[in-house]
Structure 1
Amino acid sequence: MSEPLTKATEFAGHNRISTQALTSVAKVAAAEVLAVHPAAVRVHWSDDGGALALSVSSAMGAPSLNDVRRNPGRVAQGGGSILARATAAKERILVQLERLTGSHVSRVDVRISGLLTSDDGRVL
């Protein structure tokens, strides 16, 4: 009986992830970070000097203004302002994509197209 191979480099061949699969993973990663349903997320891949660049357009989950008025600390609990959360989302999406797919992503651009609010004390 031969010993099992433990290193991926010991296997011959190629692994490729299709654009459709990358797109699906990107939508789910962005949706999780932005606190929305994946159907609310649009992504577009482009070439960035031979590397993958991702553009995300999505609404973002946020507490309602009534909730913020009742509990001003709610903004900080939710990750800060819309701008702060969108800025942090770029890095979080990039890290999540690279971890899940093994693909190098050069940059992530995020465009917030709206807000989905909730009064129940949590971001959607």
Structure 2
Amino acid sequence: MTANNQPAPAGRAGHTRITKAALTHTTEAVAAAAFGIPRRDVRVSLADDGGALGVTVSVPLPAPTLLQAAGDPHSVQEGGGTLFERADRARTGIRKTAAEVTGSQVGRIDIKLTGISPPAERTVA
């Protein structure tokens, strides 16, 4: 409503702003899913990349179990491939999903591998 209690003209209903903190937390969740690790282990910083969203991801790479390493050589979560191949697959997933979720154009994605996290423990049924 306008000041004189008239409805606002069409196309002027308001605006939506997404804070940097919201974008950061969302991108952390996306990166965690791409690497198959908890969000608490992921750190993301955002910057302008020529009008696009520039992302730096700091993450420990999950170590594969012996069974995972022998499995699909192209799966990030399953531990297949070299460190660079796994990071590239995660980068592709982060770019696609972050763009879909945030509606932002995603530019450069830098990945810093900060260590190796132990593989998730599985119980045998």
Shorter-chain TM-score: which interval? 0.7 to 0.9
4+ residue segments displaced more than 6 Å: none
Contact kept? 1:44, 1:56, Cα under 8 Å: yes
The gaps in structure 1 that reach 5 residues or longer are: 1-8
Q: Report what 1:5 is aligned to.
A: none
Contact kept? 2:52, 2:104, Cα under 8 Å: no
After superposition, the CA RMSD in angstroms is 2.4
Q: Report what 2:105 is aligned to.
A: 104
Deviations 1:53-92 (A, max 9, x none): 000010121214xx26xx7523615242222110111111
Q: Post-superposition shift, 1:34?
A: 0.9
More helix by share: 1
Matches of 1:47 and 1:119, distance apart in 2: 35
Q: Flag the 1:104–1:74 CA change in 2: closer, same or farther, 3 A.
A: same
Work out whether 1:93 is the aligned partner of 2:94. Answer: yes
Contact kept? 2:54, 2:106, Cα under 8 Å: yes
Q: Post-superposition shift, 1:35?
A: 1.4
Q: Between Structure 1 and Structure 2, whose CA radius of gyration is higher? A: 2
Q: Flag the 1:37–1:74 CA change in 2: closer, same or farther, 3 A.
A: same
**Matches for 1:1-124 after TM superposition, within 5 Å:** 12-64=13-65, 67=66, 73-74=70-71, 76=73, 78=78, 79-118=80-119, 120=121
Normalising by structure 2, report the TM-score: 0.74
Q: Flag the 1:119–1:88 CA change in 2: closer, same or farther, 3 A.
A: closer
Amino acid at match of 2:70: G
Matches of 2:120 and 2:72, distance apart in 1: 13
The gaps in structure 2 that reach 5 residues or longer are: 1-9
Q: Flag the 1:47–1:19 CA change in 2: closer, same or farther, 3 A.
A: same
